[in-house]
Amino acid sequence: MEATCAKFYEFGNPQNVIKVEHTSIQKPLGGEVLVRMTTRPINPSDLLPIRGAYSHRIPLPAIPGYEGVGVVEEVGPFVSKDLIGKRVLPLRGEGTWQEYVRTSAELAIVIPDSIEDYVAAQLYINPLTAWLICTETLALKPDDVLLVNACGSSIGRIFTQLANILGFKLIAVTRNDTYTDELLKLGADHVVDTSKTSMIEAVMEVTNGRGAKAAIDSVGGIAGSELAFCVQPAGILLTIGLLSGQSVNWAKISQQTKVQVKMFHLRHWNHQASVRTWQETFDRLLGFIADHRLKLMLPHSHYDLRDVQEAITVAETPASNRGKIFLE
């Protein structure tokens, strides 16, 4: 039996290098499940590898996609048949931009019926990253101050909601006032609109000159380097993205500010986390979703997997208050 998949044979502009093809479905091996995908979001983290950001560790050809949800169609040897028909997140297996995905049964996350597909499909990259950063990497305590730039993004909204859940204080940094009201309702203590005010002055004012305990940079460039000057000496600046495309001389910035600059890579946690820890962490996130303390992005539009180029074009078009683009 054959199925549709999106695949790239070279690195480059996703609209140019992604090809829609038919591929043979491989039966699940021992300990595996075969999942028929129902939906998956398009994230910046899906597109960066296609452009070659991690070319040193991605063998070609490759099928993109880190997130998504589907239904178990078949199980391999040594796997309970009770999983057949269950909705799961088939993570850390094959790329999700294909009709069927094989993955480890013990790593598949079973999704409760009460949680919609579009929510479940977003539960991995951003929520897990934000949760681990707040609870493990930074170990934020009540009343600690966290500064987050590009806070109107998907992960920015999650950091804001975790401030409510965990009790730390969050200062959201944005480039305009589009998301100000929403971020305050989600749990931000303050929103700094850099189109109207100096970020450094605003942060120092609201922290009584102390600065933040830690900061999260998703932007890089000038916006990222300025963030370091808002952090207390010996505090941490964690870089998780480069939306500006402009790198920063972090060694120089660290020397100037006495701030510890670190990078967070979700894959490093994946490699060391036990199966039990993996499952328990998702159970906790699912609990936050179920009791409405954590809300993820609404869909903007849905595209057939065969229309992946059009979907990518829409996903990369700037728009205010837009939800997620999904491939179905």
* Domain extents in the chain: 2-123+296-327, 125-267
Question: Rounded mean pLDDT of the chain?
Answer: 94
CATH fold label, 125-267: Rossmann fold (3.40.50)
Q: Where are the beta strands (DSSP E) in the chain?
A: 2-8, 18-24, 32-41, 69-75, 87-89, 100-104, 109-110, 145-148, 169-174, 190-193, 212-217, 231-239, 260-263, 299-303, 324-327
Nearest to 98 by CA among 14, 1, 20: 20
Note the pLDDT of residue 197: 93
Task: For 119-134, write each residue's pLDDT tens digit.
Answer: 999 999 999 999 999 9
The pTM assigned to this predicted structure is 0.94
The encoded tokens of residue 158 equal: 């999650």
Note the pLDDT of residue 54: 81
Note the pLDDT of residue 223: 85
Task: For 223-259, write each residue's pLDDT tens digit.
Answer: 889 999 999 999 999 999 877 678 888 899 999 999 9
Q: Which CATH class is domain 2-123+296-327?
A: alpha beta
Percentage with pLDDT > 70 across the chain: 99
Nearest to 320 by CA among 71, 153, 166: 153
Give the CA distances from residue 83 to residues 3, 74, 97, 238, in Å, rounded to whole numbers and listed in that order.
22, 8, 22, 38
Residue 216 pairs in a beta bridge with 148, 238
Count other C-beta atoms under 10 Å from residue 223's C-beta. Answer: 20
pLDDT at 192 over 60: yes
Q: How far apart are CA 140 and CA 171, in angstroms?
A: 14
Note the pLDDT of residue 320: 52
Note the pLDDT of residue 144: 97
Mean pLDDT over 7-26 rounds to 95
**Binning pLDDT at 50, 70 and 90, where does residue 319 land?**
low
Query: Look-up: residue for tokens 């940094």?
Result: 173
pLDDT at 318 over 90: no
Task: For 89-142, write each residue's pLDDT tens digit.
Answer: 999 989 999 999 999 999 999 999 999 999 999 999 999 999 999 999 999 999
Residue 104 pairs in a beta bridge with 32
Backbone torsion region of residue 263, taken as left when φ is above 0, otherwise alpha when ψ lies between -120 and 50, otherwise beta: beta
Q: Where are the beta strands (DSSP E) in 160-211?
A: 169-174, 190-193
pLDDT at 199 over 70: yes
Note the pLDDT of residue 321: 55
Q: How far apart are CA 210 and CA 301, in angstroms?
A: 43
Q: Is the dihedral angle over the CA atoms 71, 74, 79, 80 positive or is it negative?
A: positive
Q: Which of 54-63, 67-76, 115-124 has the lowest mean pLDDT?
A: 54-63
The encoded tokens of residue 131 equal: 């949760």
pLDDT at 13 over 80: yes
Q: What is the largest CA-CA distance in the chain?
A: 65
Residue 109 pairs in a beta bridge with 89
Task: For 269-284, write each residue's pLDDT tens digit.
Answer: 999 999 999 999 999 9
